[in-house]
Structure 1
Amino acid sequence: MNNETEIQNCDSASSELITKGFKVYKLQEDVSKIPVYSRRDFYKICINTSQSRIHYADRGIETDGTILFFGNPIIPYSWETISDTYEGYACVFTEEFLKTKDRSETLHESPLFKIGGTPIFNLAPEQKVFIDSLFQKMIEEQQTDYVFKDDLMRNYINLIIHESMKMQPTDNFFKPKNASSRITSLFLELLERQFPIETKNQPLSLKTPQDFAQSLAVHVNHLNRSVKEVTGKPTTAHITERIISEAKALILHTDWSISDIGYSLGFEYPSYFNNYFKRLTGTVPKSLRM
């Protein structure tokens, strides 16, 4: 898949998501061989017919035919198209768009999107025809002014989800030879995508190696070994360095209170943040404002 085209699609989708919560589009016809991990802040369902290699967390899968893929904003992935052509559709949406008042289950708990699940399904020809038709209907409806369009879109998305839950997911994942490099890249991307902190009301959620290992669906020991092997530094060192760097930026460039800054970085009590900052920098946070 052409990386520039895909990034443009994602950028366009992101702008649509800000106002609508969803975007449906047809995949373009040009391809590239170079895989790219890019930031994705939304859920994605994609039907694709091609010969491809998909890297998901520290696993990989080679496909040849039509697949249905479910991506979530927690686990980064890359998609390398091997064949010269491909065809398909994609739908991106926020959890807020799909989640209705009477639905308490989060998408992270769904069998299709949950951490540790298998997000890829091989489709038979008749399944491809049916799923294609649902995407085509969504694209048509997306252009209308129908007053209940959002409800209709949710129904189409849920129909794809339920049809997929009837299927057996693929199980022919492989471990790439450079698994250590791949999991390290995923960890570093997942670490970086938490920053910059833009609000005081949503504290940092991933703060320990265990948090990152759970999000990447790997054992914490495997994560620690890989990161140390590739970078020469422990996982905790990367995390603490990035948190301290962000803390300094917030202290110097915002008018937030030290308590608010600590809370935004995941520290429940100001004393915890003060002690953490002093232990790693040799000084207390408020000294940077003097």
Structure 2
Amino acid sequence: MAATETLEDFYKQKFNWLPDNLSQDIGHFNVFRLEDCYAPHAKPIVYTRRDFYKISLVRGKNIVHYADKSIEIDGCTLVFFNPMVPYTFEHSDNIRSGAFCIFRESFFTEMLRRNIHELPMFAPNGTPTYSLNGEQEEYAAQVFEKMLGEINSDYRFKYDLLRNYLTELVHYALKIQPKEILYEHPDANSRITSIFTELLERQFPIETPAQRFNLRSAKDFADRLSVHVNHLNRAIRQTTGKTTTHHITERLASEAKALLKHTNWNVSEISYSLGFEEPAHFNNFFKKQTNITPSSYRAV
């Protein structure tokens, strides 16, 4: 897996220049037309994690690859990317039309009360893609046009206005998904489950063979949360219907698949990074979860 792409990397690769205020910790924001960012012989987008957020309005047929799953999108779609999830983007046709904005978390959260990770499009295992019909496409495109018009203005408070446009995009995506429910953590069990999920996801992605997955058991998480392991297990089962161990195992298997698919590390290196003391233990774990050996999975 490639190293995390920083905002500096993004600007150097796309435009070969850096904004003057990029080094300032003010919650960077910028917006672009997709067609302005594609060179005829550009390098393909690599599977990696970014250190910034991104919202794209894309048209045509595309595939977004996240770890061991891929999402096919067709037509006009709003796609939300967050720094916790590595991804790569694959175009299935010749359409290069749309727009995107990039920003740091502090830009979004300044003067806002909601934690960005509570929103379904940015939450772990959340909903990152929102298909748009003709009317919805026109609305979202107009919001991006307002961003594009404002970013180069000399209006003193333009970033406050751009923050409003960004928030408008987020809420519009939520509004057009009537089945999507904002989760407000109504009780202690829900809050414990939310914190557990955040701690679990925070350990990923594994980016170097030297990095290790450390919180491997229900007791590890219970100790970190300062609760009894039985209380943690009961809270997670009541909230999700799955055991704590099931969640850990499922996420570990998902990362194993991603490392086998997107890196050239040998099985021993992957085994070590995922916290297994012996490659044989990793082989047994992987085969139990997938009915196939790591080497066979990589060869497929």
The equivalent position to 2:205 in structure 1, one of 178, 190, 214, is 190
Cα distance, 1:163 vs. partner? Answer: 0.4
Cα distance, 1:124 vs. partner? Answer: 0.4
The alignment partner of 2:176 has SS state of: coil
Query: Do residues 49 (structure 1) and 56 (structure 2) align?
Result: no
* Residue equivalent to 1:91: 101
**Distance 1:6-1:101 versus aligned 2 partners, 3 A rule:** closer
Q: TM-score with structure 2 length normalisation?
A: 0.58
* Residue equivalent to 2:153: 144
The alignment partner of 1:53 has SS state of: strand
Runs of 4+ aligned residues of structure 1 deviating over 4 Å after TM superposition are: 4-7, 10-17, 29-35, 204-207, 227-230
Cα distance, 1:146 vs. partner? Answer: 1.1
Contact 1:39 1:193 in 2 (8 A): no
Contact 1:24 1:89 in 2 (8 A): yes
Unaligned runs of 5+ in 1: 172-186, 196-203, 242-290
User: Deviations for 1:204-233, whole angstroms, at most 9, x for unmatched residues?
Assistant: 99744579xx9x998145247647977423
* Residue equivalent to 1:164: 173
Contact 1:16 1:22 in 2 (8 A): no
Contact 2:54 2:100 in 1 (8 A): yes
TM-align CA RMSD: 4.3
Letter in 2 for 1:219: E
Contact 1:52 1:82 in 2 (8 A): yes
Query: Do residues 24 (structure 1) and 24 (structure 2) align?
Result: no
How many residues align? The count is 212
Query: Do residues 233 (structure 1) and 241 (structure 2) align?
Result: no
User: Deviations for 1:55-110, whole angstroms, at most 9, x for unmatched residues?
Assistant: 1232112222111000000101111001112201000011111112451x321121
* Residue equivalent to 2:138: 129
**Distance 1:90-1:108 versus aligned 2 partners, 3 A rule:** same
Cα distance, 1:169 vs. partner? Answer: 9.0
Q: TM-score with structure 1 length normalisation?
A: 0.59
Contact 1:122 1:169 in 2 (8 A): no
Unaligned runs of 5+ in 2: 1-8, 181-201, 221-244, 277-300
The equivalent position to 1:106 in structure 2, one of 105, 115, 125, is 115
